[in-house]
């Protein structure tokens, strides 16, 4: 057992009170020696993914209004977190998203229609987790965080250096499961980055009612891991810090919490009424810090982007939206008999009987 | 042949599983150097190293949650919950994720993990060390819930549970850890999802599982001396339920009593009684009775004998099955005892 004074030397530094920022809201670089601003190619990729992601998000919100989705939790305004985090992942890494993280899944390359399956309501998860290494979207808060710890632990046992990115909200950090996952990750020293999208609100509850910690990143200290506080509307900064944390974790430096300061511009879901708990001024303040316009301004200012390129990216977003619209139009294609197929590896007699009863019932109409 | 206890048989099953498959991992609280509070993991760390059997942080939700991730990556975690009531912090992980992962992902992700839980009372333990939580788990589709009653089944069913592609809640009747049998290991018994007839009989079927199988056999022995020929079924798998074996027996005997330790109200016995009634109604000579624990929080150790079903209560229930008309509704002087319900009165 180490003595306290010996331990003090190895404790991770406190996260900064001011979020790490590489690009200011006007689109100018700000000096930040520690974190490398991504290369122009990466910056363009970030902008492209955010433009496509936002278009997808707008389309999904519209589909929810039309009743084509059962519900949609928008991530409008949080694109820098989802895109910046996901583009920092290597192909072999895993993503553990929540219901709010559809844009992260689209960015990861999952078919956008399959991304919406959960929210459309014809199955719980629409995609095969394996090919894109994306766990199913998680609805109970914080419960998937420990799955990521176990998965990376198993990978390391096999001599593979897969890391994992867990997306979670500010509210979710109050859950016991979050605590257990942070602690397991730190004790087992597994390469997991917990990216907290602090969008200020857990439905109607503000973040200052969730925690008394100076920042959510500070929570990392108690577990003996590193915590980073980053401007969550600065895609370059999110990407740089998550990349840095992943690299450290892979090198054996342990897991990290990255808190991204961002904002949910839309209601919690399409059925929420934010007028009841927050004022318009707050929304306006954050609108002025839009992650897309910021990165676009930087790239234009530095001559890395022109109208034609923006046009091309937007057209990609339009094509994706049209494709989603097209494929989600028409009648539902439901497969009720499949309800019994995946409960066990082999269906027990009881389920085989119930399946037959349902089929008979359907035949009778 | 050798005298082997249930606890040792489980230990040997873990040993052989670790030996046979490098993807099998055993972890939990105090399972390493100590060998578990019941010593079921005794010697495993010494033999296989910390990489294969190890102590985790003390956090049940985290233990099951990490096991989910490990299983997602194709390995086979076997985790120990130290005592029944202490599995409850992990309950959400079990119900919301373990049970549902295959179904959520349309069969693409399977979770071959085993959650071992010592359960039930009868060992004089203090509060929160003697609960029977089988009904909570058995109510959850997607889980296999099994419980061995003999050392041979302990070995065989645990090996099978570890090999099973589905997640298994493996309930170990802690009061039977020290019960021995003369067996040779390794052994393979009947498939784990099948019920077995432990003692054939023609007059009545006792349906029991886990800790109550021995008690039911004891009752059958005593009943024999009173001239009753009692059949005892050991369910072994609570979910899925082996309707075939149970139905065949009850249609033959025409009478059935379900026995379990857990509180009777809303318990697993209610499910069995309902199913038996649905499947065997025209063969039944009497209502299906339940003998279970009292509908009270698990009692303090010095009072637990009042709660736990014993052979006498089981025999009383059998008497109440209108045997040779010796029991008349309302004729025994007052109410049926609290631990028996379903009597047609
Ligand atoms: C364990 C649990 N409790 C409650 C809920 C209901 N719920 C859904 S979202 C939400 C707020 C979550 O807030 P936060 O973690 O900040 O994420 P955000 O939705 O803002 O992205 C609540 C309470 C839930 N999904 N899971």
Atom of ligand 1 nearest to the CA of A100: 21
pLDDT at B333: 41
Per-residue confidence band for B343, with pLDDT thresholds at 50, 70 and 90: very low
Task: Report the residue of B54, B62, B101, B191 to disrupt the A interface, i.e. the one with the largest count of A CBs within 10 Å.
Answer: B62
Model confidence pLDDT, tens digit, residues A318-349? 999 999 999 999 888 889 999 999 999 999 99
pLDDT at B322: 73
Put simply, the chain A residues between 55 and 94 with a CB less than 8 A from any chain B CB are none
Residue A285 lies in a domain: yes
Per-residue confidence band for B335, with pLDDT thresholds at 50, 70 and 90: very low
Alpha carbon B302 to chain centroid distance?
24
| Domain assignments of chain B as residue spans, ordered by start | 2-183, 196-320
How many angstroms away from the CA of B243 is the closest CA of chain A? Answer: 8
Residue A297 lies in a domain: yes
User: How many Å apart are CA A130 and CA A356, to the nearest integer?
Assistant: 31
Residue A31 lies in a domain: no
Q: Which residues contact A354 (CB under 8 A, 6 or more apart)?
A: A340
Domain that holds residue A345: 335-365
Q: Which CATH class is domain B196-320?
A: alpha beta
Name the residue with the closest Cα to ligand 1, atom 21: A169
pLDDT at B345: 30
Q: What is the DSSP code string of A164-214? A: EEEEEETGGGGSHHHHHHHHHHHHHT--EEEEEEE-SEETTEEGGGT--SS
Tell me how far CA of residue B154 lies from CA of B5, B23, B26, B180, B186, in angstroms.
9, 21, 17, 11, 11
Residue B327 has pLDDT above 60, yes or no: no
Question: Would B2-183 and B196-320 be classified into the same CATH topology?
Answer: yes
Per-residue confidence band for A155, with pLDDT thresholds at 50, 70 and 90: very high
The reply to whether CATH 3.40.50.970 applies to domain B2-183 is yes
pLDDT at B323: 62
* Domain CATH for A174: 3.40.50.970
Average pLDDT for residues B185-208, to the nearest whole number? 98
Atom of ligand 1 nearest to the CA of A142: 1
pTM of the model: 0.94
**Mean pLDDT for all residues in chain B:** 94
Alpha carbon B15 to chain centroid distance?
22
Question: How close is the Cα of A13 to the center of ligand 1, in Å?
Answer: 30
CA proximity to A221, closest of A51, A6, A16 = A16
Average pLDDT for residues A349-365, to the nearest whole number? 94
Average pLDDT for residues A152-171, to the nearest whole number? 97
Pocket mutation for ligand 1, best pick of A139, A141, A216 (most atoms within 8 Å of C-beta): A141
Q: Rounded to the nearest 10 degrees, what angle do helices A291-301 and A235-248 cross at?
A: 100
Model confidence pLDDT, tens digit, residues B40-77? 999 999 999 999 999 999 999 999 999 999 999 999 99
Question: How close is the Cα of A271 to the center of ligand 1, in Å?
Answer: 14
User: How many Å apart are CA B95 and CA B91, to the nearest integer?
Assistant: 6
Two structure tokens written together for A202? 């857990």
Where is A261: in which H helix or E strand?
A: strand A256-261
Residue B342 has pLDDT above 70, yes or no: no
Domain count, chain A: 2
Q: Which residues contact A306 (CB under 8 A, 6 or more apart)?
A: A300
Average pLDDT for residues A53-67, to the nearest whole number? 97
Is there a contact between A264 and A74 (Cβ–Cβ < 8 Å)? Answer: yes
CB–CB contact B97 A152 (8 Å): no
Query: ipTM, 2 decimals?
Result: 0.92
Q: What is the DSSP code string of A12-45? A: PPPPPSSPB-SB-TTS-B---SSSPPPPHHHHHH
Per-residue confidence band for B304, with pLDDT thresholds at 50, 70 and 90: very high
Q: Which residues contact B67 (CB under 8 A, 6 or more apart)?
A: A150, B27, B77, B79, B113, B115
How many angstroms away from the CA of A136 is the closest CA of chain B? Answer: 7
Per-residue confidence band for B338, with pLDDT thresholds at 50, 70 and 90: very low
CB–CB contact B73 A187 (8 Å): no
Place of tokens 């994306």: A134
Percentage of chain B lying above the pLDDT 90 cut: 92
CA proximity to B47, closest of B67, B24, B66, B63 = B24
**Where do the H-state alpha helices sit in A66-202?**
79-86, 102-108, 112-115, 117-120, 129-132, 145-157, 176-188
pLDDT at B272: 98
Beta strands in B212-333 (DSSP E): 230-234, 237-239, 256-263, 289-293
Atom of ligand 1 nearest to the CA of A175: 1
Residue B208 DSSP one-character state: E
**A81 in the same domain as A120:** yes
Residue B341 has pLDDT above 60, yes or no: no
**A350 in the same domain as A221:** no
CB–CB contact B66 A147 (8 Å): yes
Model confidence pLDDT, tens digit, residues A207-252? 999 999 999 999 999 999 999 999 999 999 999 999 999 999 999 9
**A137 in the same domain as A156:** yes
**A235 in the same domain as A120:** yes
Two structure tokens written together for B168? 């298994």
Where is B77: in which H helix or E strand?
A: strand B76-80
Residue A154 lies in a domain: yes
Two structure tokens written together for B200? 């054939």
**A310 in the same domain as A345:** no
Beta strands in A294-336 (DSSP E): none
pLDDT at A4: 52
Average pLDDT for residues B73-91, to the nearest whole number? 97
Residue A35 lies in a domain: no
Residue A32 lies in a domain: no
Put simply, the chain A residues between 198 and 237 with a CB less than 8 A from any chain B CB are none
Place of tokens 């929210």: A119
User: How many Å apart are CA A149 and CA B257, to the nearest integer?
Assistant: 46
User: How many Å apart are CA A76 and CA A274, to the nearest integer?
Assistant: 14
**A342 in the same domain as A328:** no
Residue B325 has pLDDT above 90, yes or no: no
Model confidence pLDDT, tens digit, residues A289-306? 999 999 999 999 999 999
**A256 in the same domain as A341:** no
pLDDT at A31: 74
Model confidence pLDDT, tens digit, residues A95-144? 999 999 999 999 999 999 999 999 999 999 999 999 999 999 999 999 99
Average pLDDT for residues A33-48, to the nearest whole number? 92
**A310 in the same domain as A285:** yes
Residue B336 has pLDDT above 90, yes or no: no
**A352 in the same domain as A298:** no
pLDDT at B326: 53
pLDDT at B339: 45
pLDDT at A10: 67
Residue A35 has pLDDT above 90, yes or no: no
Ligand 1 binding pocket, CB closer than 6 Å: A 100, 139-141, 169-172, 199, 201-203, 264, 268
Residue A7 has pLDDT above 80, yes or no: no
Question: How close is the Cα of A218 to the center of ligand 1, in Å?
Answer: 21
Residue B294 has pLDDT above 60, yes or no: yes
**A250 in the same domain as A136:** yes
**A347 in the same domain as A205:** no
Per-residue confidence band for A365, with pLDDT thresholds at 50, 70 and 90: confident
pLDDT at B174: 97
Put simply, the chain A residues between 143 and 182 with a CB less than 8 A from any chain B CB are 143-155, 157-158, 176-177, 180-181
Name every chain B residue with its beta carbon within 8 A of the beta carbon of A150. 65-73, 77
Is there a contact between A166 and A193 (Cβ–Cβ < 8 Å)? Answer: yes
């Amino acid at each position: 057992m180490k003595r306290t004074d010996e331990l003090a030397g190895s404790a991770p530094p406190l996260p900064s009170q001011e979020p790490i920022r590489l690009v200011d809201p006007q689109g100018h670089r700000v000096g930040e020696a520690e974190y490398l601003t991504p290369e122009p190619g990466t910056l363009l990729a970030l902008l492209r993914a955010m433009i496509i992601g936002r278009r997808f998000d707008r389309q999904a919100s519209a589909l929810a209004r039309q009743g084509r989705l059962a519900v949609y939790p928008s991530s409008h305004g949080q694109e820098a977190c989802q895109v910046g985090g996901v583009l920092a992942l290597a192909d072999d890494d895993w993503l553990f998203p929540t219901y709010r993280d559809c844009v992260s899944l689209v960015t990861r390359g999952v078919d956008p229609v399959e991304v919406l399956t959960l929210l459309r309501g014809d199955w719980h998860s629409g995609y095969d987790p394996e090919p894109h290494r994306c766990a199913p979207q998680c609805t109970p808060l914080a419960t998937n965080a420990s799955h990521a710890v176990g998965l990376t632990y198993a990978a390391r046992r096999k001599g593979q250096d897969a890391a994992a990115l867990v997306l979670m909200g500010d509210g979710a950090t109050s859950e016991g499961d979050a605590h257990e996952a942070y602690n397991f990750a730190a004790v087992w020293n597994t390469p997991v980055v917990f990216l907290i999208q602090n969008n200020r609100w857990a439905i109607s509850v503000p973040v200052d009612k969730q925690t008394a910690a100076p920042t959510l990143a500070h929570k990392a200290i108690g577990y003996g891991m590193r915590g980073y506080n980053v401007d969550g509307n600065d895609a370059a900064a999110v990407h740089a810090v998550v990349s840095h944390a992943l690299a450290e974790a892979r090198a054996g430096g342990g897991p990290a919490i990255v808190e991204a300061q961002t904002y949910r511009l839309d209601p919690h879901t399409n059925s929420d009424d934010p007028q009841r708990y927050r004022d318009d001024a707050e929304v306006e303040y954050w609108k002025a810090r839009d992650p897309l316009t910021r990165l676009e301004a930087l790239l234009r200012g530095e001559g890395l982007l022109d109208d034609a390129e923006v046009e091309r990216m937007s057209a990609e977003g339009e094509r994706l939206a049209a494709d989603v619209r097209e494929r989600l139009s028409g009648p539902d294609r439901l497969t009720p008999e499949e309800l019994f197929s995946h409960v066990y590896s082999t269906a027990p007699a009881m389920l085989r009987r119930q399946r037959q009863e349902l089929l008979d019932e359907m035949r009778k109409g | 042949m050798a005298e082997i206890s249930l606890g040792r048989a489980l230990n040997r099953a873990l040993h052989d599983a670790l030996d046979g498959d490098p993807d099998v991992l055993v972890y939990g609280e105090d399972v390493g150097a100590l060998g578990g509070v019941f010593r079921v993991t005794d010697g495993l760390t010494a033999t296989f190293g910390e990489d294969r059997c190890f102590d985790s942080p003390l956090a049940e939700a985290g233990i099951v949650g990490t096991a989910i991730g490990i299983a997602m990556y194709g390995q086979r975690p076997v985790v120990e919950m130290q005592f029944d009531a202490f599995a409850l912090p992990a309950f959400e992980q079990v119900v919301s994720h373990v049970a549902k992962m295959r179904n959520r992902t349309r069969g693409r992700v399977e979770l071959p993990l085993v959650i071992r839980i010592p359960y039930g009372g009868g060992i004089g333990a203090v509060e929160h060390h003697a609960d029977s939580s089988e009904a909570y788990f058995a109510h959850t589709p997607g889980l296999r819930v099994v419980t061995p009653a003999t050392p041979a089944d302990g070995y065989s069913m645990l090996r099978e549970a570890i090999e099973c592609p589905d997640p298994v809640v493996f309930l170990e009747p802690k009061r039977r850890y020290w019960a021995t049998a003369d067996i040779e290991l390794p052994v393979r018994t009947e498939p784990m999802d099948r019920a077995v007839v432990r003692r054939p009989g023609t007059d009545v079927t006792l349906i029991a599982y886990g800790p109550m199988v021995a008690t039911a056999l004891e009752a059958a022995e005593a009943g024999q001396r009173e001239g009753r020929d009692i059949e005892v079924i050991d369910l072994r798998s609570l979910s899925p339920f082996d309707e075939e074996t149970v139905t065949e027996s009850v249609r033959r005997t025409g009478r059935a009593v379900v026995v379990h330790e857990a509180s009777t109200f809303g318990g697993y016995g209610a499910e069995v009684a309902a199913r038996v009634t649905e499947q065997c109604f025209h063969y039944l000579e009497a209502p299906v009775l339940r003998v279970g624990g009292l509908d009270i929080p698990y009692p303090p150790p010095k009072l637990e004998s009042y709660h736990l079903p014993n052979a006498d209560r089981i025999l009383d229930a059998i008497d109440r099955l209108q045997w040779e008309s010796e029991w008349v509704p309302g004729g025994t002087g007052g109410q049926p005892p609290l631990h028996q319900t379903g009597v047609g009165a």
